[in-house]
Structure formats: C-alpha cells, structure tokens
Structure 1
C-alpha cells in the first residue's frame, strides 16, 4: 500500500540493543572517578585535625617517647639495644683525689735573639783565642829583644814592647766582650738558658735548629703552682689536642698582657706550634681536689652552659650541669658531690640531648 503524498512517515522507534551497554558502563565509571576526585579534594582542604578525626584504614602508630619528667628533672630512658643503635657508651668512674691543674697561657717565642747571642758569643770566643795567640807571639818577641841587650837597638825593643802591650790590651778587650755576652745571655734568658748559650749545649742547638721551640707559660695574676712541674700540657688549636711541654727554668720576664708568674718550657718542633702562636696551657699544681673526673668528650653544650649525662637508675640518664671554671685534672673536669661510683655517658651525649629536646617539643605541641 503506497502512502499518499500529503502523509508524513511516522518516526521509527528504536529498541535498546546490546551495543548501548558499554556506554552506560563508561558513564558510570566516569561518574565514580569524578566523585573520588571530589572526595580527595575535600579531604585535602579539610583541616588536619578533622582529617585525623576521620576514620582511616589503619590507625597511626603511637609515638614513642624516650624522655619524661620525674622529680622535677628530665629523664631519658634507653635500653641496651637503643643505646647501641644511637651510639651511646658509658663508663663508671670513681670519686677520688686528683692533682689539680691550673690554666695558664702559652706563647711560642721568636728565638732570633738566642741565635744572635749564640753566634756573637762564639765569635767573641774565637777573637779571644786569636788575641791569646798574638799575645804569646808578641810576648816572646819582646822577651827576646830585651835578652839581646846591646845587640838590639832601642827601636827594636820599643817596637816589640809596643806590639806586646797592644796584644795584651786586645786580649783584655776580648775577655771583656766574652764576659759581657755571657752576662747578657743570663740576664735576658736566665741562668739555665744563658749557660746553654755560652756552652752551646744540646738545649740551645735544638732551639736554633728548630727541633724544639721555646714556650713562655704565664699563670693568671696572683696564682702559683709551687714547685714548677716537669711537664705541662698545651692545647693545639683548632683540634684542642694536648701536647706535652718540658720545663726549662723560670722566665726572666712576664707576659705584659697577663702580668703573672712565667716559666720557660720547650715543645717539639713537629708538634704543630710555630713562633708567634698562643695557646692555653694546663700546669699541674701541688694542690689536689676530690671528685669524679669527667672527660671533655662527655661534655655537651646547650643554652650557654655545659652539661654531661649520668645514670640515675636502670636504663635512665639525667643531664647534670658542669662548671667549666671549676678544677681540672689530666684534661678532665673534677666534679664534686657525685656518688662514689658514677656511671656517665662517655660517647653519645649529644644523641641523648636530642632525644630530650624532641620530647620537650612533643609536650609543647600537645599543649598547643
């Protein structure tokens, strides 16, 4: 049956087919993706305390605090395994008597003057020997001229006598010059170094050849050590390594900057010191003090003070203040008032301080 020309065809009706299902799945996945992105953005925008309150898959691990405040002091607790992990080493020290060290100031001297005096004395001694030899010759010539009697003219006798008298005066001048140089050496450097200059001994030879250097050690004003010790110790900057000094004699002058008692010591030429350098020097005294000798390696510095850690119980350590102006002995600080046997942290004190500070930061954060 044909349709008439004025009639419009009816629209065809399409039934759902299997090809339209993948499109619905894709639209569903796209919708889920957008929702997930929105949820993530909202979670990122939320404040941290709201995000922490939101349920999560796994609860965060509890924070482990190694420090706590007990009896008004901060205690750091570490077991043996934890101490090994962060490098903490302890040592048990006994309270006993120690020979106190006085802090002094050392200056390595320029020895050009010692060299000049040594050379001048050697030259004056050679001149003296020359004058002695000339005098012997001229004396013999004068005696022969007088012995000739009438066979020698008056001019010959007078000439021989004049030479003899001149050589005698030259000898006296050479002897005077030698005595003056010896007195100058002793006046400038003391009897020990002065005699060494005159005799050109091994002490002065080593100084001239720079095998050793001369160090002037000056105590603070008003302090003394009694009999000067045979050995003192200088700190070599910047490592602060201790270098032994050998005693020579009391110094003939003080350091004008310090105005204290001074002594001469020598230091090895290969120790790292050079003329013109200054250093702290520790001079043992006759006085002894009681306490625990805490070595410098155990000291930590914080807030302008010095501290060390000591054991206050099983696996527990507390920070103890240290007076750096107190007595010292053998490169250690002598601390009084500690138990007869005290376990201190020899290495790793800085790690304990870090643990203590982290605990304080956590407490202040929780209070906020």
Structure 2
C-alpha cells in the first residue's frame, strides 16, 4: 500500500515536471522568434521609403540625400485624371549668377532732359540768325557809305552796335546749350547722354517704348564681372515674363536706398513698363556648372524649401529637395540628386504632395489602431 502511494506520487511529480518543461520550451521558442525574426524578414517598401533605381550609379552622398526624400504611389488611371505629366531632363550648363534688383527708367526723365537742350539749341539758332542779319546790315551800310556817301556815320555806328549785341546774345545762347549738354553728361553716362543730346534712332526707339533702359543695383560689396555684357531679367511675380539686356555703362551715382554698385543696361524689348521692378541675374563667374535645370513649373514649396517630384517608375514618384540648387531666371539648377535622363513632374506636383500627406495620415491612423 505504501509502495503504491509512493509510485503514484512519482508519476504525478513526473507529469508536473513535464508540463513545466513544456511551458519553458514554449516561452523560449516565442522569445527566439520575437528577437530574431527581424533578421530574417525581407524589407517591405512603404509609402515613405526610398525606392532605389537599379540602373543608377549614385555616390554615397546622393544615396543619403535620396534616403530622406519621401515617395508616393499613384495609379496610371489616377494620374490621367489628375493631369500628372512629366518630362525627361537634359544636361544643362549654368554659369553662376548673383541676383540683383532693377528698375525700368521712365522715358519722361530722358524726354525732359532732351526738351531742355532742344529749346536751348533753338534759342541759339535764333540768335545766330539775328547775328547774321545784323552783320549783313552793317556790311550794306558800309558799302553805301563808301560808294555814295549817302549814309551817315551814325547809322553805321548804330548797325555796328546792334551787331555786337547780336553776337553777345548768340554767345550767351551757345553757353546755355553747352551747360545743358554738360548737365546731361553729368547725370547720364555715355551712350545714354549722347542719345539725349543728339536724338536720332536710338533715342526715338526709347521714346516709342520699343526699347527700355534698366538700372541694375547690385548687392552691397558686390561688383560686376567685367566680362559680363548680358544679364537676364524677370518681371516680379511674373515668372514667364523674362528677357535679356545688354550692358551700357556704370551709373555716376549710387542708389540712395540699396547703396550697391549701379549699372545701366539696354533692354531691346517693348514688354516692360516704365518704373517696373525687376529681378535680374548677373553672371559672376566664367566657369559653367554641369547639372540639370528644374523649371519653376515643376517646383513646389513645403516647409520653407523648394521640392520637385522625380518619377521612379510608372506609378511611383519621389519628392526630392532642391535646397542645394542654384536659382536662376529659368528655374533651379541642380548638380546632384537628379541626373540627365531622369523624368520630373511638370504638371500635378501639388496633387502628388497632397496624396503623399494623405497616405501619411492613413499610416498614422493604422498605427493608432
């Protein structure tokens, strides 16, 4: 009886030990799966993970740059509905430029200066005609006096006095003309001063507003590259209104507000209004940089930075920062991150940005659940 009881206790104890060992084994296996399963799982691309292009041989810095760019996936049907379009980029060479401000000179300033000189010149011509008349009258009286003696000496003396007055008047008018020309040359550099003084075709084109003079004010402590003969301008808040202007001469006076170096340029276009404020890009280097030009229509702004969307495949787009790019009149020139042959979105970028944020909000809701 005692032996049976002991045997039963041993069987019960062995059964408890087996259950305990089984529980410990299960916990050990579960722990191993929990800690080591991430090492065996293959990465699944998410909406916010960088999509790599196997055909591109980027350097490490560019891969790091792409790693932080966000991406979004949109079906081809949705792209058609949203009018999302893209274009392939070509290699672009860009000469470094500095941005400056400019203003279109009103033609009224030039016209008033021209009018003062023209009036002075007309007065001088009248004085010359009067002088010539007095000179002829004196010659006639002297001839009569010598030939017939019928002319009194006092008449000859009176004519002589009139001629002297006319000569003095003509000299005074000539001095007024010279003063007017000197005033213009003190205010305007050549060739602008010559246009005002002489008139002619160039002045007439300005008055007809077929050409305009632009005053460019460079940033403080910046100087114009002496090899820079052409600048590019852009109408403020009008990205499509752009053009070029040729260098004329340096201004004699500095701008009272900006105090930067001031130059005059000639715009051979009638698309600018007098007094209009412009942004200009002035070349400040002779070396051209290789890269791609991102047109402004492809640029979107978020968090104070410019961005563009790079097409990865038919349905995947990646947002790339343009913060390191160089702004120019055509767009933003980028030397790294996007390459010739890449396709960027030219229409519908704002829609992609909204779609990207929509998926982010959706993912956050899933995490909360």
TM-score (norm 2): 0.72
Check conservation: 1:66, 1:78, Cα contact below 8 A: no
Distance 2:156 2:362 in 1: 111
Q: Where do 1:257-268 residues align within 5 Å?
A: 257-266=257-266
In structure 1, list runs of 5 or more residues that go unmatched. 1-64
Name the counterpart of 1:183: 182
Matched, 1:348 2:338: no
Question: 1:357 deviation in Å?
Answer: 0.6
Name the counterpart of 1:337: 336
Q: Where do 1:163-178 residues align within 5 Å?
A: 163-178=162-177
SS at the partner of 1:256? coil
Matched, 1:93 2:89: yes
Question: 1:69 deviation in Å?
Answer: 2.3
Distance 2:366 2:102 in 1: 52
In structure 2, list runs of 5 or more residues that go unmatched. 1-44, 51-66
Name the counterpart of 1:16: none
Name the counterpart of 2:33: none
Name the counterpart of 2:226: 226
Question: 1:236 deviation in Å?
Answer: 4.3
Check conservation: 1:108, 1:278, Cα contact below 8 A: yes
Distance 2:70 2:210 in 1: 53
Name the counterpart of 1:202: 201
Distance 2:163 2:98 in 1: 62
Question: 1:278 deviation in Å?
Answer: 1.8
- Over residues 63-110 of structure 1, what are the superposed CA-to-partner deviations in whole Å (9 max), with x where a residue is unaligned? xx9834245543222343332232221112133422344322111333
Q: Where do 1:293-312 residues align within 5 Å?
A: 293-312=293-312
Greater strand percent: which structure?
1
Check conservation: 1:105, 1:219, Cα contact below 8 A: yes
Name the counterpart of 2:12: none
Distance 1:90 1:334 in 2: 17
Over 3 Å counting, the alpha-carbon distance change for 1:227 and 1:186 in structure 2 is farther
Distance 1:223 1:317 in 2: 42
Name the counterpart of 2:281: 282
Check conservation: 1:211, 1:270, Cα contact below 8 A: yes
Distance 1:248 1:95 in 2: 29
Distance 2:245 2:93 in 1: 25
Q: Decide which structure has the larger Cα Rg and report it.
A: 1
Distance 2:184 2:103 in 1: 20
Question: 1:317 deviation in Å?
Answer: 2.0
Name the counterpart of 1:74: 70
Question: 1:169 deviation in Å?
Answer: 1.2
Distance 2:116 2:100 in 1: 34
Name the counterpart of 1:106: 102
Name the counterpart of 2:120: 124
Over 3 Å counting, the alpha-carbon distance change for 1:345 and 1:179 in structure 2 is same
Matched, 1:135 2:134: no
SS at the partner of 1:337? coil
Question: 1:211 deviation in Å?
Answer: 4.9
Distance 1:100 1:210 in 2: 31
Name the counterpart of 1:362: 362
- Over residues 255-292 of structure 1, what are the superposed CA-to-partner deviations in whole Å (9 max), with x where a residue is unaligned? 222222323345588636343x3222234555322211
TM-score (norm 1): 0.72
Name the counterpart of 2:39: none
My pick for the range that moved more, 190-199 or 100-109, is 100-109
- Over residues 169-207 of structure 1, what are the superposed CA-to-partner deviations in whole Å (9 max), with x where a residue is unaligned? 112112211122122222212121211111222332343
Over 3 Å counting, the alpha-carbon distance change for 1:74 and 1:191 in structure 2 is closer
Over 3 Å counting, the alpha-carbon distance change for 1:82 and 1:244 in structure 2 is same
Name the counterpart of 1:115: 111
